[in-house]
Amino acid sequence: MPPPTDAEHFPLGDVVLQHGMTLPDAHLAYKTYGTLNADRSNAIVYPTWFSGWHTDNEWLIGPGMALDPADWFIIVPNMLGNGLSSSPSNQPPPRDRARFPFVTFQDQVACQHRLVTEHFGIETLALVTGWSMGAGQTYQWAVSHPEMVQRAVPFCGSAITADHNKVFLYSLGEAMRADAAFADGWYDPASPPLRGLRAFARIYAGWGFSQAFYWQEEWRRLGFVSLEDFLVGFWEGFWQDGRDPNNLLTMLWCWEHGDVGQTPGFDGDTVAALNSIRCPLLSMPAEKDLYFPPEDEHWSSQHIPHGDVRVIPGVWGHFAGGGQNPDDTAFIDAAIREMLDRPV
């Protein structure tokens, strides 16, 4: 599937990023679902995940679901770097491709905050939620804007990227760079480094789902007929879907450096940042997630005044939060509904 073309664009002007570079004439691509009510009290922010587009979030939105557009005004901002918002692949020279600057979770949320407040005039968010890097942005929203966020439900993600998770991410980056066709990021965008991308896909395949998922051949439920069929059809296809390698590495860098403690004012103190979260926050790690394991969320939760953890059971691992397993989707949807029913 090619990248979607139905996004709206919010111009950000020149954005000064946390790491000291300017992103000129930046923009956020976003899509909204539902209608903002008169007192602007029904807004929800639901950020995207690593490599995902707004359309990849739509499985959790719909009539009869917790995120029902009849009730809520759901804003899905695309991450900087994802190819729809300002990214290596669409930024004009000299900040293009390998020169696209470093972007942090703090930067992501600062830009989204401008969209929400300046463009929509919204001052409170009934909920922020998201999967994986979307969960990282959810945590970041709760720390950066405790005055706005009324409820938070990060799923299969974390407030700080654990070292083991970083090792996984390093391996992805090194595999891409091992392909000489990557050319330090100066490849022709029309001919990306395919060997590197395919190695990237094979690495990701071992992490995205659990040991038991493979043992039980759960990929058959996705319509594949053999392990190799799944690895090529699902995984290699996934990363060759207009998902530019420089874009992927920009998002990887953001993920690697995830840490709410790096929010200005906290001086690197992750525990203090977690302790500053005011709203109820329900974290939902997946039981067998190999890179965001439940124990990390139990650690974070103990430092969040109204923090709670509810583990998504089953064998899908990280992709429990990807919307392709009906049981996991029902579990997440029910928890979000419960949170939204909670008075503030």
Judged by CB under 8 A, does residue 119 bind a copy of itself? no
Q: How far is CA 50 from the centre of its chain?
A: 5
Judged by CB under 8 A, does residue 156 bind a copy of itself? no
Given candidates 135, 175, 309, 340, which one binds a copy of itself under the rule CB under 8 A? 175
Q: Measure the CA angle with vertex 120, ends 109 and 156; round to 5°.
A: 35
Closer by beta carbon to a copy of itself, 8 or else 295: 295
Q: Which of residues 209-268 bind a copy of itself (CB under 8 A)?
A: 209-215, 217, 227, 231
Judged by CB under 8 A, does residue 183 bind a copy of itself? no
Q: Rounded to whole angstroms, how far apart are CA atoms 96 and 204?
A: 26
Q: Could you tell me the smallest distance in angstroms from the CB atom of residue 288 to a copy of itself?
A: 10
Q: Rounded to whole angstroms, how far apart are CA atoms 308 and 115?
A: 29
Residue 132 annotated to the active site: yes
Check if the beta carbon of residue 164 is closer than 8 Å to that of residue 291.
yes
169 three-class SS? helix
Q: Which of residues 281-310 bind a copy of itself (CB under 8 A)?
A: 290-291, 293, 295-296
Stretch that binds a copy of itself, among 41-49, 105-113, 171-179, 275-283 (CB under 8 A): 171-179
Residue 85 annotated to the active site: no
Given candidates 56, 107, 179, 328, which one binds a copy of itself under the rule CB under 8 A? 179
143 three-class SS? helix
User: Is the link from the previous residue into 293 a cis peptide, with omega within 30 of 0?
Assistant: no
* Helix ranges (DSSP H) in 160-266: 163-178, 194-208, 211-215, 227-230, 237-238, 245-256
Please give the DSSP secondary-structure letter assigned to residue 33. E
Q: Could you tell me the smallest distance in angstroms from the CB atom of residue 230 to a copy of itself?
A: 9
Binding site for a copy of itself (CB under 8 A): 162-164, 166-168, 170-171, 174-175, 177-181, 193, 195-196, 198-199, 202-203, 205-207, 209-215, 217, 227, 231, 290-291, 293, 295-296
